[in-house]
Structure 1
Amino acid sequence: MGKSSSASAAGSKKRKSKSGALTLGEVKTLGEELLSSRAHLNHAPTLLALLSPSAPLDLALEALISLQSFFVPLLPSIPSASADVAGVDADPELVFRSWLRKRFDELVAALVELALSPRSDEAIRDLALDALMDFVKSGKDGRFQSAIYHKFLHNLIHATDSIDPLLELLGPKYFKYADVCYFTYTSLDKIASSVGNKSTGSEKSGLHSGDDGSEDRSTIYVRNIYNTLAHIPTLDLQESKFDMWSTVGLSSKGKKNSSEDCSATYINKKLKSKFSKAWISFLKLPLPLDVYKEVLATIHQNLLDACLKSSYLPAYLAAAFTKRLSRLTLSVPPAGAIIIIALIHNLLRRHPSINFLVHWENGANDSEPSNESSQRKKVGADPFNNEECDPTKSGAMRSSLWEIDTLRHHYSPAVSRFVASLKNDLTVRAKTTEMRITDFSSGSYATVFRDEVRRRIKQVPLAFYRTTPICLFQESDFPGWSFRDQLKNKSETSVEGNGISTVYTSDSSPAKKLRLET
């Protein structure tokens, strides 16, 4: 970096001063010279100055392509940001590497600004994101550059402008990779914890940035965290192979993973752990009302089925969740009941130890002690306490899914049919698999009605009885209850008076009076 680089810099200044601004041809020439020799290293700051949302699009695109081509091969030789720079002046190679570190940091910052700025054109935003992710993948030994990715996500979450355009790019292009999802959850966990600590400090000090009518910045950050989490698709953890963005996988350290660490079981375990930590850190934050409602509306798709997926959950916990869900079916709309039935179906398949909860019409489980069996048969005595917060004290292990059994007579045919299929699926386990909860999550009154009117009905209910009914309800539908005529035992009661005998018969009310001569 001597006279030649200085001369090159002076030449570029002369070209710029003559024309007032660089032309596209001049930018291409600067890029070609930068890639050809170290003598033209000072072209890098000139090209970096063009990476701005306000710069002409064609010049910014050309400068970005040249800088990306220049830095990618040099990434292994760029020292870390925390590297010791003592004695830099004594070693020309250290001077060069230190210069590379500063210019690379400037490039990353410029790429983050291009990706997040609402003034950026869609083309430059897309290319800036690809360049950032290329740097994330092409680090030393091919390991995932979590520091660069964390810096990008930190700026993403703390952006005050809308981040939806960038998330629409991130989702389909990069969130399909297991390692990208893993490090996204890791960074969001740290960022959510940091936002939570700042929010707590602001509350204690009584400082709120929204007192002037503008929205509190911490509220914006919470929304950004939720939007990012919501754009991460739920990976199919039953797959035997996961796609990776980096060559090493989930490791951000120098040592490469062994074949065991790259197995589906290892990746499955690590993803579940990071997924849980990120969501828990987010749910600890003071959520705005609209975000709180959105979380409640979508948690059945993202957080609940995945949390209950582990086969290592204790039986009492699975039973308590199953009973609490089944109790909800008594008060939810038909679409909600269908989602709950699907969740219970998956729980019963994953945890065979709670199959005794299934309510069969004909009686008890032969494997149970007689006293427990008789207690379960007792109508109206459900030992489950729906208000108990402690699963161990809820009494779910001594209860049954009678709520699901009542849905066999639900007013919505879609619900009653689904319950019937649940019984059949649990009977023939080898031929059935778990249900995808997302297939039922978009249901509503409208969708249930639309599906029902499209069905081809073989038998149409008619408004007459084949046989004259003698009671309002069938006793077989309500074991333990009796709906017989109270006057049946008094079918022939005579009252004598003034030579007239009146006989009450067990006909429809009121009973007929027959006048008989004595």
Structure 2
Amino acid sequence: MSSIQSSSRKRKNKGSGDNSNRKKKPQQDLSDVRKLGEQLLSSRAHINNLPLLLNFLDPKSSYPREFLLESILSLQSFFTPLLSQLPSSSSKPTEDPESIYHTWVRSKFDEFVQCLIQLALSPTLSEEALREVVMDTLMECVKSGNAGNFHSSIYHKFIHSLVYSTHEADTLLSLLETKYFKYIDVRYFTYISLEKITRTLDVKECQDMEPESAETKDEIPGKASGQLLVRNIHHIISKIPPLEKLGENSEYEMWNGSGVFSKEGKTKSKKIKGTEGKQGEVNDVISAANISKKMKVKFSKAWMSFLRLPLPIDVYKEVLVTLHQAVIPYLSNPILLCDFLTKSYDIGGVISVMALSSLFILMTEHGLEYPNLYGKLYALLQPSIFIAKHRAKFFQLLDSCLKSPLLPAYLAASFAKRLSRLALTVPPSGSLVIIALIHNLLRRHPSVNCLVHQEDDNESTTKSGIDPFNNEETDLLKTNAMRSSLWEIDTLRHHYCPPVSRFVLSLENDLTVRSKTTEVAVKDFSSGSYGTIFKDEIRRRVKQVPLAFYKVVPTSLFSETDFGGWVFQSDDKSSQDN
């Protein structure tokens, strides 16, 4: 063994000399790199070629791409058959020479993996095809690096580096999404890694920072700001496709056939893609139902850990927009979102509008009780809501929330009166939505039809024309809406926009007779604007066109009889008189 070690030292020194010569001669031949790989694969005597090949994977080096590809190919071919024999990274070698050798090879394999991660995230790697090769090699190490099982530790290092990267990794995320997120075990371990990372993040680091401090922190190499970390986590977790609802004879596709989804509940009716050729491929795979259950648990933990972070306002809005479709249906217990959504709804403004969709789903489908819903919903009825980006969805949800026939009369009257007051200031498209909402309220709740024609016994109030409705009151019990009337809607009969004046006539029908009337589809008016109204008007076929007819062609804009006592004369005539 001593002769082998001395021989290794000589080769190491010789290899070091060769390496220094290569640094002096950047125009070295590709055949030299290929020869190093062939020698490494041919005999253990050339084991010192291993660190030499690793040198070509340095992201800071300026070696040609052919050197990089050749080194990756040789190193992957060397490590793959040895992985099942190598000890873990944390194990300590014994005095046995074979143990020392395997421990040293293991350390070089860990170095190889680290080089692949750095290369994959390096901004100097401009070629997408080369980045894809590096990514594929890294995922092959993940696939078989743990004695043939999914190597979660390597994958966690990769996800951790991806989250903490200060450079854009859109290409890498696209590769993950298109090539690897289709595998159920890759998604599973991605959720686990993201949950670990979010749990270890310092909340103070993720707080919104001043622009100056954020820019300064981003300039530090390898140091990502708190906001950037949150954005990176959201970018990854939002790219993971949700778990499909598979049928009884469906198959889940796996990147590694053994590991996390093996032998917890034996089944002979399920197979998982990727287990071909493995012993017990049918009996040692758990059922699809159990896989779905395990995935939901990890999905829920990852998302709930992420939502506890202080989200930047742009990320906050993106999450709220997609939460009801991309998250709630796949949570193990959707009620877990109760605190997040109620806090979001209490913020007010556009955030409340965006949180309403998910909150409505929790209330109607999952039994959430939220007594303050109508009070907060009433407070959202401001003129600005009629020009908000998400107004269409809001008005549809508002109509759905007011649909229950069990609503008390004072509540329905308060909403009808608040909406009618807004009709005086909103654009014509908003007036159309308001008329549709009030039409449905009067039809659903006959007890508030008295607002259409209110008879007041108090003569002083009638004579003075005072409206008892208090528009500034936030308590729906104290608005006095039931003592008021919808006089604001009556003013819309003479609205300058013809569609508004025509549509308001629908409220003249007897809406208490439900069999003779139907509800108005609010979605047909919720996304209206000046442009949509104009397009609808120019498409209408006008039956009668008003014409101006004169027996004598007029010579002036106004006739003398229009303004009695006034004399109109031209400047030319007045100058002649002077």
TM-score over 0.5 (shorter chain)? yes
* Runs of 5+ consecutive residues of structure 2 not aligned to the other structure: 219-223, 268-284, 336-360, 416-432, 438-498, 516-578
TM-score normalised by L of structure 1 = 0.60
Question: Is residue 336 of structure 1 aligned with residue 393 of structure 2?
Answer: yes
Match of 2:213 in 1: 210
Do 1:52 and 1:60's aligned partners in 2 also have CA atoms closer than 8 Å? no
Tell me by how many angstroms 1:156 deviates: 1.1
Match of 1:42 in 2: 48
Match of 1:514 in 2: none
Question: Is residue 2 of structure 1 aligned with residue 8 of structure 2?
Answer: no
Question: Is residue 283 of structure 1 aligned with residue 318 of structure 2?
Answer: no
Do 2:243 and 2:330's aligned partners in 1 also have CA atoms closer than 8 Å? no
Query: What does residue range 20-31 of structure 1 map to in structure 2 within 5 Å?
Result: 20-21=25-26, 22-31=28-37
Do 2:363 and 2:370's aligned partners in 1 also have CA atoms closer than 8 Å? no
Match of 1:298 among 322, 347, 357: 322
Residues 292-330 of structure 1 show CA distances to partners (whole Å, capped at 9, x for unaligned) of 22222332332233348889x9998624489979x7999
Secondary structure, aligned partner of 1:301: helix
Tell me by how many angstroms 1:160 deviates: 1.3
Residues 147-194 of structure 1 show CA distances to partners (whole Å, capped at 9, x for unaligned) of 111111111111111122211111111111111111000010010111
Match of 2:109 among 97, 104, 112: 104
Question: Is residue 222 of structure 1 aligned with residue 225 of structure 2?
Answer: no
- Pick which of 208-217 and 297-306 moved more: 208-217
Question: Is residue 475 of structure 1 aligned with residue 510 of structure 2?
Answer: yes
Tell me by how many angstroms 1:122 deviates: 2.2
Do 2:328 and 2:334's aligned partners in 1 also have CA atoms closer than 8 Å? no
AA of the residue aligned to 1:298: T
Query: CA 1:470–1:214 in structure 2 vs 1: closer, same or farther (change >3 Å)?
Result: closer
Match of 2:97 in 1: 92
Tell me by how many angstroms 1:470 deviates: 11
Query: What does residue range 225-244 of structure 1 map to in structure 2 within 5 Å?
Result: 225-239=233-247, 240-244=250-254
Match of 1:150 in 2: 156
AA of the residue aligned to 1:281: S
Do 1:142 and 1:247's aligned partners in 2 also have CA atoms closer than 8 Å? no
AA of the residue aligned to 2:366: A
Match of 1:69 in 2: 77
Tell me by how many angstroms 1:142 deviates: 2.8
Question: Is residue 181 of structure 1 aligned with residue 192 of structure 2?
Answer: no
AA of the residue aligned to 1:104: F
- How far apart, CA to CA, are the structure 1 residues paired with 2:201 and 2:330? 26
Match of 1:137 among 137, 143, 156: 143
Tell me by how many angstroms 1:265 deviates: 0.6
Match of 1:265 among 280, 289, 305: 289
Query: CA 1:338–1:380 in structure 2 vs 1: closer, same or farther (change >3 Å)?
Result: closer
Question: Is residue 122 of structure 1 aligned with residue 128 of structure 2?
Answer: yes
- Percent of aligned positions that are identical: 38
- Pick which of 179-188 and 162-171 moved more: 162-171
- How far apart, CA to CA, are the structure 1 residues paired with 2:116 and 2:131? 8
- How far apart, CA to CA, are the structure 1 residues paired with 2:139 and 2:396? 38
Match of 2:205 in 1: 199
- For CA contacts below 8 A with separation 6 or more, give which structure has more relative contact order: 1
Do 2:142 and 2:151's aligned partners in 1 also have CA atoms closer than 8 Å? yes
Match of 1:247 among 244, 253, 257: 257
- Pick which of 38-47 and 218-227 moved more: 218-227
- How far apart, CA to CA, are the structure 2 residues paired with 1:114 and 1:377? 62
Query: CA 1:45–1:305 in structure 2 vs 1: closer, same or farther (change >3 Å)?
Result: same
Secondary structure, aligned partner of 1:69: helix
Tell me by how many angstroms 1:2 deviates: 3.5
Residues 75-120 of structure 1 show CA distances to partners (whole Å, capped at 9, x for unaligned) of 11111122133x3xx2111111111121011101100100001111
Query: CA 1:207–1:45 in structure 2 vs 1: closer, same or farther (change >3 Å)?
Result: farther
- How far apart, CA to CA, are the structure 2 residues paired with 1:471 and 1:237? 45
Query: CA 1:97–1:178 in structure 2 vs 1: closer, same or farther (change >3 Å)?
Result: same
Query: What does residue range 425-464 of structure 1 map to in structure 2 within 5 Å?
Result: none
Query: CA 1:141–1:95 in structure 2 vs 1: closer, same or farther (change >3 Å)?
Result: closer
AA of the residue aligned to 2:85: S
Cα-Cα RMSD: 4.6
Secondary structure, aligned partner of 1:285: coil
Residues 106-142 of structure 1 show CA distances to partners (whole Å, capped at 9, x for unaligned) of 1011001000011113233211211111111113453
Query: CA 1:141–1:214 in structure 2 vs 1: closer, same or farther (change >3 Å)?
Result: closer
Secondary structure, aligned partner of 1:102: helix
- Pick which of 29-38 and 210-219 moved more: 210-219
Query: What does residue range 327-366 of structure 1 map to in structure 2 within 5 Å?
Result: 336=393
AA of the residue aligned to 2:294: K
Do 2:242 and 2:326's aligned partners in 1 also have CA atoms closer than 8 Å? yes
Query: CA 1:125–1:212 in structure 2 vs 1: closer, same or farther (change >3 Å)?
Result: closer
- How far apart, CA to CA, are the structure 2 residues paired with 1:3 and 1:247? 43
- How far apart, CA to CA, are the structure 1 residues paired with 2:320 and 2:302? 17
Query: CA 1:319–1:56 in structure 2 vs 1: closer, same or farther (change >3 Å)?
Result: same
Query: What does residue range 357-506 of structure 1 map to in structure 2 within 5 Å?
Result: 376=406, 472-476=507-511
Do 1:23 and 1:59's aligned partners in 2 also have CA atoms closer than 8 Å? no
TM-score normalised by L of structure 2 = 0.54
Query: CA 1:213–1:471 in structure 2 vs 1: closer, same or farther (change >3 Å)?
Result: closer
Counting matched residue pairs gives: 371
- How far apart, CA to CA, are the structure 2 residues paired with 1:196 and 1:77? 39
- How far apart, CA to CA, are the structure 2 residues paired with 1:268 and 1:11? 56
- How far apart, CA to CA, are the structure 1 residues paired with 2:201 and 2:513? 55
Do 2:142 and 2:154's aligned partners in 1 also have CA atoms closer than 8 Å? yes
- How far apart, CA to CA, are the structure 2 residues paired with 1:314 and 1:212? 39
* Runs of 5+ consecutive residues of structure 1 not aligned to the other structure: 345-356, 365-375, 386-406, 412-461, 481-518
- How far apart, CA to CA, are the structure 2 residues paired with 1:321 and 1:27? 68
AA of the residue aligned to 1:244: M
